[in-house]
Amino acid sequence: MRIRYILLIAFALLFGSFMVFYGGYYLINPDMRGEEILANYGIPYPAVIAHRGSSIKAPESTASAYELARDTGSDYLEADVQRTRDGELIIFHDENLTRTSNVEEVFPDRAHLKVGDFTYEELKKLDFGSWFNEESRYASPEYEGEEILTLRELIQIAKEGDHTPGLILESKHPEKYPGIEAEIIEVLEEENWLDNPDLANLPQIEDIEKEFAPTIFFSFSPASLRSFKDLRPEIPRLLLINDNMIGRRNWQGWLERATEDDLAQGLGPKGFMSWPWHIAAAHEKELFVFPYTINELWQVKALARIHSSGYITDRPDVILEFLDRLPELPELPELVEESTH
Ligand code: G3P
Ligand code: CA
């Protein structure tokens, strides 16, 4: 019994010293290559990516959340793309509609069906904002009745503001939607988003020659990334990594998977995997790293110290403020003091 305790303490001491030594090394001498790697692809550094829009302050994946993220100055709007039964590409995260809509009231018998089992007209009957008002301190009457958002509408939102963010599109549950990658690209082309010189010349990137990359594709599915690569190899791709995936294959294994046949140029790990040495190992292979979902200031500060390539966040305003990049507010008219005469 005593031997076991001694061994346990020895192991804890050894592991602790290793962490302090190795972590300390990177805190003193952090890996700086994230910026260079992003510059190769025309991606601003560090990239602030609004996850489902400004989804702490407005209902996720709705027009309000994306408009807010755009007007806050986010570099990219992140959006999950799925397909309705009749073929419309929509922005929606979950597999079914119960968490973020009133589907149980409107279609009580079909409430637990998948989002792709509904037609676009049916989804238009649902309210995607009122659930948020019941739960959030940012509730607002303007969120009542938020409608399902299409990919085409998201593109318009990105184009319409004073600041034009890029789009990071995730093929969500792509195994359920064969061919969705080609359809996403078709919509982007029809809406004049791809190959648009006005977007490539946006002033998002200073001091580098490369043009701005207005589009990035994301997926947890290597097969889906492969389809994007076959269709438009020049558009940067990022392989997302969740808990299950890191259980099946270690970090080094995913680095190899991502670089095999140029499958992806970046990795999107869950925040807890973003150890300095993981980021450094990714940089060794010329991969950028965008951890998700980074919502707390302490996380941003820790990741900034190790030069994270970017931040996928529900709170782009918090990160932009930390980076001192919030857009300037319009000047207020000077106050004229009232005359006392
Ligand atoms: O941005 C990464 C993230 O979008 C992946 O997770 O579940 O929010 O789509 P999820
Ligand atoms: Ca997503």
pLDDT band of 20, cuts 50, 70, 90? low
Residue 330 has pLDDT above 70, yes or no: no
pLDDT category of residue 340 using cuts at 50, 70 and 90: very low
Tokens of 286: 């010329």
pLDDT score recorded for residue 261: 96
- Closest ligand 1 atom, CA of 93? 9
Tens digit of pLDDT for each residue in 151-209? 999 999 999 999 999 999 999 999 999 999 999 999 999 999 999 999 988 777 666 66
Distance 171 CA to ligand 2 centre (A): 8
| Closest CA relative to residue 207, chosen from 45, 34, 318 | 45
Q: What's the confidence (pLDDT) of residue 7?
A: 77
- Asked if the peptide bond before residue 293 counts as cis, ω within 30 degrees of 0, the response is yes
Question: Using CB atoms within 10 A of its CB, is residue 72 exposed (0-12), middle (13-18) or buried (19+)?
Answer: buried
* pLDDT tens string 54-64: 999 999 999 99
Per-residue CA distances from 228 to 44, 147, 152, 251 (Å): 22, 28, 19, 23
pLDDT of 307 higher than 70: yes
Q: Are 165 and 65 spatial neighbours (Cβ–Cβ below 8 Å)?
A: no
Of all protein residues, the one whose alpha carbon is nearest to atom 10 of ligand 1 is 93
Bridge pairing between strands 89-91 and 76-83: antiparallel
**Is pLDDT above 60 for 4?**
yes
Average pLDDT over residues 121-141: 98
- CA 133 to CA 293: how far, in whole Å? 22
Rounded to whole angstroms, the Cα distance separating 328 from 341 reads 37
Residue 333 C-alpha to ligand 1 middle, in angstroms? Answer: 42
**How is the chain split into domains, by residue range?**
30-91+150-322
pTM of the model as a whole: 0.89
Query: For the domain bounded by 30-91+150-322, which CATH number is listed?
Result: 3.20.20.190
Q: What is the pLDDT of residue 29?
A: 59
> What is the sign, positive or negative, of the torsion defined by CA atoms of 42, 44, 46, 51?
negative
Write the single-letter amino acid at 287.
Answer: L
pLDDT of residue 260: 97
Residues with CB under 6 A from ligand 1: 51, 78, 80, 93, 170, 240, 268, 292, 312
Res 310: pLDDT: 95
Q: Where are the beta strands (DSSP E) in the chain?
A: 47-51, 76-83, 89-91, 149-150, 166-171, 215-219, 237-241, 266-269, 288-289, 310-313
Choose one of 93, 237, 238 to mutate for the ligand 1 pocket test, by most ligand atoms within 8 angstroms of C-beta: 93
Compute the distance from residue 94 Cα to the ligand 2 centre, in Å.
Answer: 10
Nearest CA to ligand 1 atom 2: 292
Residue 95 near residue 115, CB atoms below 8 Å: yes
